[in-house]
Structure formats: C-alpha cells, structure tokens
Amino acid sequence: MSELSERQWEYRAEQLLLDQLFMQLAKAGEYEDYQLYQQLLQRAETAPLLQKKGGEAHFQKALQYLSTLTDLITVDLKSGRILSKGYQPIDLQRIVDLLPETLSGRLHFLRRFSTDSTNSDLQRHSAQDAQYWAQQYYQSLPSLQDTSSKDEESLKAKVAVAEMQTGGRGRRAKRWVSPLAKNLYFSFKYRFSHRSVPYLSALSLRIGALLLEVLEALGIKGGKVKWPNDIWIGESKLAGILVESLFNRHDVEVIIGIGVNNQYDAALELVGNHPTCCEAILGQPLDRNLLIARLSEKIYHLCEQVEAESYALEQGIPLSKKLPDLRVIWSEISLLYQRRVQLSSDRDLLIGREVGIDESGALLVELPDGEIRPIISGDLSLREL
C-alpha cells in the first residue's frame, strides 16, 4: 500500500468498487447480486477489496448506497435482485476517439464517479495536491502514470467530468442539482497569457453562444442566452455556465464550468427557474460522451482564437479570422433582448429594457428616463417583467 495508510487505501478501493458496480449495471435489465459479486471478484481492480475479510459486506454496502443515489437502479436486498433502467456512463476513451486528430495530446481528461464539483477538481489538480489525488479513485487520459509532472504542467487545457456532483454550484453560490448519470457536469481549464485579460470579461457570453451552437448541432434548437450565463429553451432553463479565474505570475488560469440538464429527474421539479432537460425536448437524452467531445473541441479552439487575437493586437499583426462581434449577434441569441426587465440584488433594484451588450460583455439596460446603463455585475438577478 506504499504511501497510503490502510484506511486511505480502503477508502479509495470503496470508490473504485462503487464506480465498477455503476459500470456493470449500465445496461438495462435485471441482475442478481451474487453474479455481480462474482464478476467483480474476477476483476483485478476490485478483487483486492472483495477478497479481504468483510469483502461481501463492502459489496452489499456499495450496492445499497448506489441505489440511493439514483432512481435508475432499484435494489431488493431480500431477493438479491437488482433492476437497472439503463444509462450511458462517461467513457474517456470514446471521448478522445471522437476528437479530431489535430487535438491529439493537447487535452488532459479527468473523470470521477462522484465529486463535489468538477470546477474544484481542476482548481486542485496540480502537483501540490498529489496527496489528495492519491486517496481518490479517478480515471485520467493521458494516464498520469505515463505523463511526467513537467508534461502535465505544460498542458494548456484540461477537462474534468463526473457522473455526479455533491456540491455543484452556479452563480451567486446557487446549488446545481446533480443526480447520478443523468446530466452533464463538465469543466474546462485553459491557461491564458496576461495579454488576453481584456478578452476574458466577455468569455462567459462567448461560451454561451458556443454552447447554443453545439446543442443546436445535436438537435436542441431555439435556445437563448439569459445574461450572463444561462441557457434557456422558451420559458425553461436548460444549462448554466460558471467561469472562474485565477491570476498567476505568468498566466491566467480560467475554468469554465458547464452544467446541462440532460435526463429527467424528479429533483428538477423542486428547484426554481422552471428547468427543462434534453430528454424532454428530444424525447431521449443526448449522448454525453459526444457532447463532452464537441464542447472540448469547440472551447479549445475558442480559447486558442482569443490567445491569437490578443497576440496579434499586441504585435500589430493583421488577422484573417476574428472572434465574432457579440454585440452584433446579441439580438439573435439573447432571451430578453428588447424586453422589459428587472435587475435586483440584496441592496439594489433596477427596472428598464434590455437593449444589448457592450464589447466587454456588460448588459445594456435602457432606464425609464432614456439613460443607457451598462450592468457589469453578474451578482444581480435578471428577470423579465
């Protein structure tokens, strides 16, 4: 067990067992606990825990706990029968295979069965947090064992995904409902140079426009951006975006978190914003692996373009291709363009008409006296009157 204590090793092994059970039950159908136990006993990853004294108890505990996380799996402990409605696990190898060859080796993928937040995973995914990661079960492509710490740090882009989140968060510290295997929990980290800072204030809106494009290509049409970082279909929220930045001495690390409601879950009815999901729109959930691959590809190219344009501007070099002018396309992608709106916080209340955005991504609101006021703070709550 090398550097890990007995308890740390057991904790990691329990995470792995839970994930492997989850994988085993992905296909819809009826299972017997004895057969599942025997199958996991034959796997090199799970055998060490199950062969220990109390291995069967670990198995039963994991099975019962898994059934409490989702309505996709039902366990009858008395009969030993398990019923799975079926689901599609996240498959890192398939995601990588779906990417164009031009991105080979440019992205590092991290998958966890359960995490507090995929944004947090990317914040602590560094050499300083090696002890934390040693105690966690996770998958990584390329494998961390095959990647030197120097190569790891040189990667400009990293992606973290998870089957569920226990502490997913949105703007204004709002909690994002994160049931198992049903939604997209995705975070993308890119290391920008300091010269790109002027472009980053509008990045959340650019990601919103990009997410609309990806969703439309996959059949979700009619989506709009609700400033500053939500995607709505009609009167219902489908997705949210959370962009966080960390300024370092040599660069700026930006983490782009995206959550998409993909499959119906009863918990959706308990939250505000009248949420919808891809399944309600299409009649079936989206392929999450395809969605992750397309988002990773598009966001990587967007970040590259931001870097290229900032460098060209600094050096006085003409560019053949420029970033789209968000001010021009805002009328097409905004949910509340030209509508009467209210912006509120704990201390302020502003009523006016949304008339556009400026080049920094600030919302432009026309007040009753005709003044056009730019709204910068995303901490204000925006809604239609």
Q: Which residues are catalytic?
A: 171, 237, 383
Query: Looking at residue 293, what DSSP letter applies?
Result: H
Residue 89 backbone phi and psi in degrees, to 5? -70, 160
Structure-block tokens of residue 49: 């825990």
Query: Distance (Å, rounded) from C-alpha 342 to C-alpha 238?
Result: 21
Contacts of 268 (CB under 8 A, 6+ apart): 177, 261, 275, 277
Dihedral sign of CA atoms 45, 50, 53, 54 in order: positive
Query: Distance (Å, rounded) from C-alpha 103 to C-alpha 5?
Result: 39
Query: What is the chain's alpha carbon radius of gyration, rounded to the nearest angstrom?
Result: 23
Query: Distance (Å, rounded) from C-alpha 367 to C-alpha 377?
Result: 17
Beta-bridge mates of residue 383: 342
Contacts of 324 (CB under 8 A, 6+ apart): 206, 209
Question: What is each CA distance from 92 to 107, 111, 120, 185, 279, in whole angstroms?
Answer: 12, 7, 19, 14, 23
Contacts of 4 (CB under 8 A, 6+ apart): 12, 134, 135
In terms of C-beta density within 10 A (0-12 exposed, 13-18 middle, 19 or more buried), how is residue 333 classed?
Answer: middle
Query: Distance (Å, rounded) from C-alpha 219 to C-alpha 256?
Result: 23
Beta-bridge mates of residue 208: none
Q: What is the residue whose two structure tokens read 């080796």?
A: 105
Dihedral sign of CA atoms 198, 122, 238, 381 in order: negative
Query: Distance (Å, rounded) from C-alpha 258 to C-alpha 169?
Result: 10
Say how many CA atoms lie within 13 Å of 11 toward its Cβ. Answer: 10
**CB-CB contact of 125 with 133 (8 Å):** yes
